[in-house]
């Protein structure tokens, strides 16, 4: 019986991976490779690169300890071809293998690459999710619109999570209304675990520093876990220390508080070190034991089996060209301050600075600060998509592009959301304390020193009026604009034009 190669990618670090279940220890060779192509197709954050490489090395070590033969190529191996397809061909020649078994990658780019590799590659379904791609497609078929809430209810029924017979626990499916409290600066905020380095992590940090000197973000201090045990420790910390207040403050933002009560588990979940159902079951157990309230646990479970699963379903349902969509014809270049954090907008600076330092910002910072600005300023969706894909440790195209192209930018024309999440500075002021220290005045609607979000919000509505005026969820805002005094409308439009002109000129905003 001839040998086969078993490909394991950097976001497939799961012992029960479908390709590994298919493999035979006595004859098959596991292939793992750190290739430059994967580190440079966008300008990945240094911490993201380091996390994936360190976790890959630890996973390979675990596999060897379990008796697997692993052909592992490090980034600085002189024989490294720096492309996955070429590494497969090199290893096939080395071991006399004629077939590759792989778990289907989480993005179209890599699936296409494997389809065109000149060796037989069998791609098995990635069953680490609650809903298969076929199951989601069946659910979506013939629906006029695809809304996460209804899909989420199906996932609750399927998993039995937070169910009381055939009814939702507590009588409601969704407790989001209870999860919108602004946080206070005097709240005690738990500090997430910062993991200690071992020799593998130290070697990887030195490697990334040496091999990717011009990449984005700050590599050190590096505090992510790179092992399954470390990820599980982070999971246990969240369940005990942060989950009880996660719900109340999940939309809040505070100066100097990067993490609040968020889990910071998505990087581990998305590379395979944690299991989504296990996380949900543990969160439910905290509720059943009386240690966490229902609104917190339901909100957390909804993020995983609702939103995460829904977004993945959208990505594979809509096809490879989805990230290139631009339904609103936005074409303004991404401003330089997205990469540098050099802006006078306090909210944008806070979100971008912590992105630079930690490869992390929570979902409201991504949606309602950096994302909201990109939407109302009319930034090019492809450039914005590539930025989000590059800068966050948990960003892989299957999860990032529908969130960015669909949820944030409405560039998919309404596949993900029923309306764009456009907002003025008032929302940010309500949910954060950023505005208190800002150069701009959030109460000023136009003119010198006004919050840029205020005139840009109205400018966005006006330039997209034909599309959104008939949307029942947005009609009221157009009526508000129409009732506004003409001189105020003119001042707002002039202010928006001046801000956009500064962006296009590359000036500081």
Helices 486-504 & 453-463, crossing angle to 10 degrees? 100
How many whole angstroms separate alpha carbon 357 and alpha carbon 217? 6
Give first-to-last CA distance, the chain, whole Å: 65
| Residue 324 placed within a domain | no
The pLDDT assigned to 360 comes to 97
Domain identity same for 394 and 492 = yes
How many whole angstroms separate alpha carbon 390 and alpha carbon 42? 6
| Residue 509 placed within a domain | no
DSSP 18: H
Alpha-carbon dihedral of residues 16, 19, 24, 28, nearest 10 degrees?
-130
Domain identity same for 447 and 468 = yes
Domain identity same for 307 and 426 = no
* Domain closes at, from 318, 345, 377: 318
| Residue 42 placed within a domain | yes
Residues 406 and 326: beta-carbon distance below 8 Å = no
* 112: containing domain: 5-124
Give me the CATH number covering residue 63. Answer: 3.40.50.620
Domains in the chain, number: 3
The pLDDT assigned to 187 comes to 61
Give me the CATH number covering residue 269. Answer: 1.25.40.80
pLDDT by residue for the chain (509 residues), tens only, comes to 689 999 999 999 999 999 999 999 999 999 999 999 999 999 999 999 999 999 999 999 999 999 999 999 999 999 999 999 999 999 999 999 999 999 999 999 999 999 999 999 999 999 999 999 999 999 999 998 899 999 999 999 999 999 999 999 999 999 887 777 777 766 667 888 888 899 999 999 999 999 999 899 999 999 999 999 999 999 999 999 999 998 888 888 998 889 988 999 999 999 999 999 999 999 999 999 999 999 999 999 999 999 999 999 999 999 999 999 999 999 999 999 999 999 999 999 999 999 999 999 999 999 999 999 999 999 999 999 999 999 999 999 999 999 999 999 999 999 999 999 999 999 999 999 999 999 999 999 999 999 999 999 999 999 999 999 999 889 999 999 999 999 999 999 999 999 999 999 999 99
The pLDDT assigned to 183 comes to 72
Domain identity same for 169 and 274 = yes
Domain identity same for 147 and 116 = no
Among 334, 358, 43, 300, residue whose Cα is nearest residue 176: 300
| Residue 448 placed within a domain | yes
The pLDDT assigned to 180 comes to 73
How many whole angstroms separate alpha carbon 345 and alpha carbon 435? 9
| Residue 208 placed within a domain | no
Domain identity same for 153 and 115 = no
Give the three-state DSSP class for 420. coil
Among 346, 42, 87, residue whose Cα is nearest residue 212: 42
* Domain closes at, from 124, 154, 177: 124
Long-range contacts of 354-359 (CB under 8 A, 24+ apart): 354/258, 355/45, 355/217, 355/391, 355/392, 356/216, 356/217, 356/218, 356/391, 357/217, 357/218, 358/47, 358/223, 358/258, 359/45, 359/46, 359/47, 359/48, 359/51, 359/217, 359/267, 359/391, 359/392, 359/393
* Domain closes at, from 124, 146, 175: 124
How many whole angstroms separate alpha carbon 296 and alpha carbon 123? 38
| Residue 332 placed within a domain | no
Domain identity same for 249 and 160 = yes
Give me the CATH number covering residue 459. Answer: 1.10.579.10
| Residue 367 placed within a domain | yes
DSSP 404: I
Beta strands in 259-356 (DSSP E): none
């Amino acid at each position: 019986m001839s040998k086969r190669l078993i490909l394991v990618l950097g976001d497939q670090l799961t012992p029960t991976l479908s390709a590994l279940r298919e493999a035979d220890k006595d004859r098959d060779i596991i292939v793992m490779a750190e290739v430059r192509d994967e580190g440079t197709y966008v300008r990945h954050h240094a911490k993201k690169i380091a996390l994936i490489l360190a976790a890959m090395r630890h996973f390979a070590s675990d596999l060897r300890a379990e008796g697997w033969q692993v052909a592992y190529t490090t980034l600085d191996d002189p024989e490294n071809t720096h492309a996955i397809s070429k590494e497969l061909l090199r290893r096939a020649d080395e071991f006399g293998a004629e077939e590759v078994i792989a778990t289907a990658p989480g993005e179209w780019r890599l699936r296409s690459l494997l389809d065109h590799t000149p060796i037989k590659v069998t791609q098995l379904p990635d069953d680490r999710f609650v809903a298969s791609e076929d199951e989601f497609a069946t659910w979506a078929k013939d629906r006029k619109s695809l809304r996460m809430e209804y899909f989420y209810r199906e996932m609750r029924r399927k998993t039995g999570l937070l169910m009381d017979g055939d009814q939702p626990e507590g009588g409601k499916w969704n407790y989001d209304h209870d999860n919108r409290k602004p946080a206070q600066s005097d709240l005690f905020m738990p500090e997430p675990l910062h993991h200690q380095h071992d020799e593998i992590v130290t070697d990887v940090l030195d490697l990334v520093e040496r091999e990717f000197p011009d990449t984005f973000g700050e590599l050190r201090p590096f505090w992510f876990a790179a092992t399954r045990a470390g990820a599980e420790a982070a999971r246990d910390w969240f369940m005990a220390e942060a989950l009880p207040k996660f719900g109340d403050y999940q939309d809040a933002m505070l100066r100097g508080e990067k993490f609040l009560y968020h889990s910071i588990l998505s990087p581990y979940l998305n590379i395979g070190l944690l299991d989504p159902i296990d996380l949900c079951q543990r969160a439910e157990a905290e509720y059943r034991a009386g240690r966490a309230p229902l609104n917190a646990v339901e909100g957390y479970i909804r993020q995983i089996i609702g939103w995460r699963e829904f977004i993945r379903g959208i990505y594979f349902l809509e096809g490879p060209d989805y990230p290139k969509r631009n339904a609103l014809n936005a074409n303004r270049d991404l401003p330089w301050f997205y990469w540098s954090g050099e802006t006078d907008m306090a909210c944008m600076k806070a979100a971008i600075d912590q992105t630079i330092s930690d490869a992390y910002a929570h979902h409201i910072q991504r949606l309602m600060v950096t994302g909201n600005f990109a939407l109302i300023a009319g930034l090019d969706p492809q450039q914005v998509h590539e930025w989000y894909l590059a800068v966050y440790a948990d960003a892989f195209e299957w999860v990032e592009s529908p969130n960015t192209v669909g949820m944030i930018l409405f560039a998919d024309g309404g596949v993900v959301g029923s309306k764009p999440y456009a907002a003025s500075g008032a929302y940010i002021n309500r949910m954060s304390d950023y505005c208190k220290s800002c150069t701009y005045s959030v109460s000023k609607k136009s003119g010198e020193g006004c919050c840029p979000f205020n005139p840009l919000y109205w400018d966005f509505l006006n330039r997209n009026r034909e599309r959104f005026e008939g949307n029942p969820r947005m009609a009221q805002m157009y009526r508000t604009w129409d009732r506004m005094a003409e001189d105020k409308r003119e001042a707002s439009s002039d202010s928006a034009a001046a801000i956009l002109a500064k962006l296009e000129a590359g000036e500081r905003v």
